[in-house]
Structure formats: C-alpha cells, structure tokens
A = this chain, B = another copy of it.
Amino acid sequence: MTYELDEPDSLFEALSERQKAILIFIGGFIDREGFPPTIREIGEACDIPSTSVVNYNLNKLVDLQWLERSKEKSRGIRLVRRSGGGAGRPPRERPVRAYDGGSATLVPRVGRIVASKPVMLPGADFGQYYDPDMDLIEVPREMLRGFDPSEVFALEVQGDSMIDALIDDGDIVVMRKQQTCADGDLVAVWLPQDSTTTLKAFYDEGTRIRLQPRNPTMDPIYVHPNNCQIQGKVLGVVRML
C-alpha cells in the first residue's frame, strides 16, 4: 500500500495500522468538525468494535507523545505533533470553520478579472439576490478559511497578466470582498495611476506599499499608499485543464 503520509518520520510508520488510522481520523475529524471525536466515533471510523481498545490505543499514543488527553472529559483529545498537513494536522488556524454536513460549498462565479479594469464586485448585498441558476463553482470548504460563503465569490482570470502570481488565463480565483488586509495576504489591488488590477502579496512598509509577486523569479513593485486600492483577498485558485 502506498499512501505517502507526509510525516517523513519513520516514527509514524512504526505505529500499528490501527494507531495510524486513529491519528489520521482524528486529524481529519478536527479539521472537519472543529472539535475532537469521541472514543466511540473513533472506534466506528476505524473499525474497532470495543471502546476499550480505542482507549487502549489512545493511551499508547499518549505515551508515544502523539497526542494528549484530558482525563474524564468528553472529546478531551489534543494532537501534539502537528507538522505540515497530514495525519496529525494541527489547527493551522483556530478551528473556526463553518460546516454543514460535508456537502459541497458553492460559490457564485460573478464575472471576470481583467488587468485593465478594477475587479467587478458584486453588490454589497449580492447574497440576497442570489439566483439559483447563477454560475456556481464548487470549492473545497477549507478554502473559505471560515468566511461565510455569502461573502465569497469567484472570478475568472482573463489574460496572462497575473502570471507573476502563478495564475494563468482561465484560472478561477476565489475571493472575499474586503478593503483592508494583513501583511502577506494575497490581494487583488487596483492601481488607479496605472489603470491596472493585479494580484500580489501585500506588504505595508509605511511610506510605501510593496506588492510582491508570488513567483520568486519576479521582482516586487512599490506603490504609494494612495495609489493602491485593495479590492479583495484571494482565498484560493482553481484551475481546470
């Protein structure tokens, strides 16, 4: 069997199949639900018929320092070794995530993003005017990073002017409308002086804004704060070939 788990550790491989399954399940569960599973939920998912066996293996994993438990508390499990994004996946952020049963998250595709025009934003309240026949695209729920789906929308990129952000003609960018952002966020900015929209990582350097391409072979550009209008934050990119 050849699932490559991104714990390069042979430590992980040394675990029993059940222990591996348990760790993987817990990580996924926390990701999905926002809280850890119960012993019985683990047992059911990993085909372990007895709660005591789950308990046994859980304690084993505590000894091996894969997780921590709070005695006599329901769902009192914490993953300890959390690197990368695999089995022991950490809450990369706070486990603040909407969840509605695992169904797909649908986001309206509202137009195109063209380098020579500001981003076409839907009305502030477009959520209410949502038309079920609108062009919708499924996106992984994680991509929403906890934002409410109603404030997220998708745009198709036209032209190859975003190539320095590793975004190709025809790609779909999933965005959340917002006027501000934190340093390092990938945002769509409208540069009035250049009449250009571009996607770049945003860094406020006080007297100037540094817009850093995502493509390391390319250099950043610098603009005056007055010539830099944030239009939305990019949550993700989807490319279909």
Binding site for B on A (CB under 8 A): 1-6, 21, 24-25, 27-31, 33-36, 38, 45-46, 65, 68, 70, 74-86, 91-92, 94-108, 110-112, 120-124, 126-131, 133-143, 145-152, 156, 160, 163, 166-168, 185-186, 214-217, 234-241
Q: Check A38 against B74 for contact (C-beta < 8 Å).
A: yes
Q: Check A4 against B111 for contact (C-beta < 8 Å).
A: yes
Q: Check A84 against B6 for contact (C-beta < 8 Å).
A: no
Q: Check A150 against B92 for contact (C-beta < 8 Å).
A: yes
Q: Check B99 against A78 for contact (C-beta < 8 Å).
A: yes
> Is chain A's interface secondary structure helix, strand, loop, or mixed overall?
loop
Q: Do A79 and B92 contact each other (CB < 8 Å), given the known contacts A103-B104, A111-B6?
A: no
Q: Check A112 against B148 for contact (C-beta < 8 Å).
A: no
Q: Do A146 and B74 contact each other (CB < 8 Å), given the known contacts A97-B100, A138-B138?
A: no
Using A30-B94, A80-B97, A94-B149 as known contacts, list a sample of 5 further A-B pairs with CB atoms less than 8 Å apart, ordered by residue number in A. Answer: A2-B110, A35-B78, A78-B97, A81-B146, A100-B103
Q: Check A122 against B2 for contact (C-beta < 8 Å).
A: yes
